[in-house]
Amino acid sequence: MNLLDPQGPVAAANSTILVDSVFIMLVIVVPTIFAILGFAFWFRASNSKARYRPDFVYSGRVEMVVWAIPALTVILLGGVAWIGSHQLDPAAPVPGTGSPVRIQAVSLDWKWLFIYPDQRIATVNTLTVPAGAELNFQLTSSSVMNTFFIPQLGSMIYTMNGMVTKLNLRADNEGKLKGLSAHFSGDGFPDMMFDVNVVSPLAFPDWVAATAKSDAVLNEDSYRKLMQQGIEKGRPTYRLEDPRLFDLIANQHIPPGPGPELISDAGRPHSGGHDAR
């Protein structure tokens, strides 16, 4: 999950912003460090050439340097952040080759459900995508707020119950990547990770056909069982019975899960207050 080893255009742009920001900040950090060392050396007690000026109050040249460099740093960082945040809008199209792949992601306690409505299949804790294709994600949560993040593809984004967020990505190279939840959501949070398999465009239809032969069926009843709190160690696959399942989840036609439960009085409100959950 190396942020500096991007495998897609969004992650590459994120990496560029990170590197540029570090170098811009070094412009003020490095001279400041050398200035501290230089002042300490020059004004040492044994240096007879250093002038002792206890009445020194103001110098326009010193003020110019002290304020101009930080101001330029802030302007440059602000410009990088402003331009980058608009160019990397999560909902902005990311053109690719072939047909876009629509994926509906649901964060559960504590697992990830990926629904492919056009292919009528679904997977848990594993995401398979074709290299080079535009990936159109729709994301929601079954209970508490969570965060979807594939570091080598970029753009960490929140998932929230009763809401749908959009994210467009692209994976350029075949291989295996890792995704994770980046927002604490209870006891099973450390294990809330998923595999990302980037396959060739020719291999993707074969994977879809093999997955569609799964004996397990994902519908409203099986989803209610899947959304129960627990860590999923396997990588189950499903045939999708109803392609509208994601809409039922996002619109709360299927009631949301309870979320993490308090197991001690340490996290409970005091003074007669009520649990906001």
Averaged pLDDT of the chain: 87
Domain 101-251 superfamily per CATH: Cupredoxins -  blue copper proteins (2.60.40.420)
Residues 6+ apart with CB under 8 A from 45: none
Nearest to residue 226, comparing CAs of 212, 237, 214? 237
Residue type at position 223? Y
Residue 265 has pLDDT above 60, yes or no: no
Burial environment of residue 272 by CB neighbours within 10 A (0 to 12, 13 to 18, 19 or more): exposed
Q: Per-residue pLDDT tens for 186-242?
A: 888 888 999 999 999 999 999 999 999 988 999 989 998 888 888 888 899 999 998
Q: What is the mean pLDDT of residues 37-65?
A: 86
Angle, nearest 10°, between helix axes 9-42 and 60-87?
A: 170
State how far the Cα of 269 lies from the Cα of 277, in Å rounded to an integer.
11
Query: Which percentage of the chain shows pLDDT scores above 90?
Result: 44
Task: Give the HSE-up count for residue 155: Cα atoms under 13 Å, Cβ half-sphere.
Answer: 28
State how far the Cα of 34 lies from the Cα of 11, in Å rounded to an integer.
34
Q: What is the mean pLDDT of residues 32-41?
A: 91
Residues 6+ apart with CB under 8 A from 95: 134
Q: What is the mean pLDDT of residues 175-187?
A: 89
Q: What is the pLDDT of residue 67?
A: 87
Both tokens of residue 232? 């999923």
Asked if 8 contacts 96 with a C-beta cutoff of 8 angstroms, the reply is no
Q: What is the pLDDT of residue 65?
A: 82
Judging by DSSP bridges, how do beta strands 134-141 and 165-170 pair with one another? antiparallel
User: What are the sequence ranges of the domains in the chain?
Assistant: 9-48+58-88, 101-251
- The answer, as to whether pTM is greater than 0.75, is yes
Asked if 161 contacts 277 with a C-beta cutoff of 8 angstroms, the reply is no
Q: Per-residue pLDDT tens for 83-128?
A: 888 888 898 889 999 899 999 999 998 899 999 999 999 999 999 9
Residue 58 has pLDDT above 90, yes or no: no
